[in-house]
Chain A
């Protein structure tokens, strides 16, 4: 049976000792999960190792940790996969999740961060009036639309490595935002606009997401929280025209309009238009503050020679810009926005067949 070396980060606040690493040797089959190895070390070697777990089947969301620097559930990460990402090819580093305070060893304080953020988005249904006498009747498609967010098990793995939260601990974050979409997308909920206004106006709300895909990459349940944040923004700007104080609405509008007019990005226009719409918008005090604040950067750009003054004033249109405009017109003219959610519809049968064919060829050649 193979032997695995677990390198566990130990920390016990009441001991007064700083955090340190401790190695444990575990003999176990490679198809067993990392959690089994941690539990073996706790049961056979050192009963004081702190780890939270329950179902051991990626449903309860208790055993989130960082394995070789990447956040994951210990119960659905196999030892042989974990060792494949070990820096020295032998030692599996296991440490508590990030962005949350450590209570002991691998146990983090989910209440202090994750659950507080979830509470912020009012995670329950707010119906329009009295509940109906019998069950609510909801169109199938409407519930399918929120299926992906309902897959969340609140393990905190996305919260652990959220890169915006690293810089702004107040950021509402990926898990809570996905939860917010769960109700924004629910036709029974009567507070859709209020929810979106709160998320858009909050300086650490949906417009604080830096679009880094980290949560999409690490989520063990395929919730793709960042995609849900983009859907929240789409509803906030497209359906409710919420002109938030964070420039989220104006930035999107400015960007989209610039490409419609020129085809490529006219950067010198993007910034001022994101701060204030039209001349009047730019004269409002908040826009003025932002514009003046970005002046030194603009001046440095010109002085370095990278931004030619002519570029600020003039931007070339694409040779056939009219064609881009036509595309805009056609799509904006549709009755509703078309959205292809691959989590829900999956790939075409032909696409799947082809990928199966590729897999067969790869096996055949290896």
Chain B
């Protein structure tokens, strides 16, 4: 299946291991990635906060580029924040033809045009809805038996439900748990899985931000998780890059690795921790990597 692929900014910036892992995983699950390398930042909600029309126009530009990709069945992202920010703009663009025409008038300078109704999905949704859990199960080369994984969704992919297609796909807020079980690992329940990582206020109120991250990490550790997994690179920044700082705000030692969603899938598909960029995390992934490699030896 060919998809118009929007990797986002952070997956090529401060979490390059995410984009790298996705490129390795894609062919293994039958995805052909047509990268939108001329597309712009989704605005992460900040540009919409500044000027709605600007955010809507910038994302309509990306949607138009995705629609112009020959043979692409849909647009795919690998970032919960891109998903949420883009879905917000799409909701307005699709609701009013008059508004859409005004935006398209701006895009006409680039010979681009957004037609209502683009399908834009995070890789998590594509994997479950378009590729399917049965197919994924059949592709597993290394069942992650004994690995205890705590899911962390990121707000933008779970709320608000009416904007994010939960009417048609009511189980989207359980996909991580479902995938974790299908690849043989154990999904760990803890209070923070559907809460906020705190990243959006890291520059405005570090205490509010890292207290949130720290509590969720602590809860996952207390629930016995070996690692967290997230489909959002911005959550990853607060949960992994900032984890040593977060310790100070919750007055406890943390030290739990945080995997990107495609990395976890890659491990189950037989890819090695190193090629999936697991060496490029702030919190060491060595123990998880060792557990996984040991599994391979016994398989």
Contact = CB atoms under 8 A, between A and B. Distances in A.
B54 interface: yes
Contacts of B245: 296-297
A274 B40 contact: no
B14 to A, nearest CB: 5
A338 B241 contact: no
A173 to B, nearest CB: 12
Tell me if A's interface is mostly helix, strand, loop or mixed. Answer: helix
Given A203-B205, A252-B49, A323-B109, A331 B54 contact: yes
B141 interface: no
B188 to A, nearest CB: 16
A306 B16 contact: yes
Nearest to B81: A211
Contacts of B116: 351
A166 interface: yes
B61 A264 contact: no
Contact residues on A (Cβ < 8 Å of other chain), bracket: 35 or more
Tell me if B's interface is mostly helix, strand, loop or mixed. Answer: helix
Contacts of A248: 204
B41 A265 contact: yes
B155 interface: yes
Interface string B157-168: 001110000000
Contacts of A266: 13
Contacts of A171: 208
Contacts of A339: 52-53
A300 B244 CA distance: 9
B50 A167 contact: no
Given A347-B95, A348-B97, A318 B14 contact: no
Contacts of A60: none
A293 B204 CA distance: 13
B203 interface: yes
Contacts of B211: 167-168
Contact of B155 (A167, A211, A264, A270): A211
Interface string A248-283: 100110011001000111110011001100000000
A342 interface: yes
B50 A345 contact: no
Interface residues of B, number: 72
A319 B96 CA distance: 31
B43 A264 contact: no
A324 B43 CA distance: 13
A13 interface: no
Contacts of A211: 45, 155, 196, 200-201
Contact of A163 (B99, B109, B205, B212): B212
A263 B41 contact: yes
A330 B106 contact: yes
Nearest to B277: A306
B282 interface: yes
Nearest to A293: B206
A18 B211 CA distance: 27
Given A297-B241, A338-B53, A305 B280 contact: yes
B115 interface: no
B94 interface: yes
Contacts, number: 210
A153 to B, nearest CB: 19
Contacts of B57: 327, 331
Nearest to A209: B201
A252 B54 CA distance: 13
A190 interface: no
B110 to A, nearest CB: 5
Nearest to B204: A207
A297 B209 CA distance: 14
Contacts of B56: 340
A145 to B, nearest CB: 14
A338 B280 CA distance: 43
A264 B9 contact: yes
B241 A301 contact: yes
A230 B49 contact: yes
A275 B212 CA distance: 21
A327 B58 contact: yes
Interface stretch (A123-131, A135-143, A233-241): A233-241
Contacts of B43: 255, 259
A336 B158 CA distance: 33
A318 B201 contact: no
A324 B116 CA distance: 21
Contacts of B281: 304, 306
B156 interface: yes
B254 to A, nearest CB: 14
Contact of B48 (A230, A304, A332): A230
B257 to A, nearest CB: 12
B291 interface: no
B47 A259 contact: yes
Given A259-B47, A338-B53, 19 more contacts: A210-B196, A210-B212, A211-B196, A213-B159, A214-B159, A217-B159, A297-B244, A297-B245, A305-B279, A306-B15, A324-B58, A326-B109, A327-B54, A328-B54, A340-B52, A345-B95, A347-B96, A348-B96, A351-B95
18 contacts: A204-B208, A211-B200, A216-B159, A230-B48, A237-B50, A252-B46, A263-B40, A265-B10, A265-B41, A275-B203, A304-B282, A319-B37, A327-B106, A328-B54, A332-B54, A340-B96, A342-B95, A348-B97
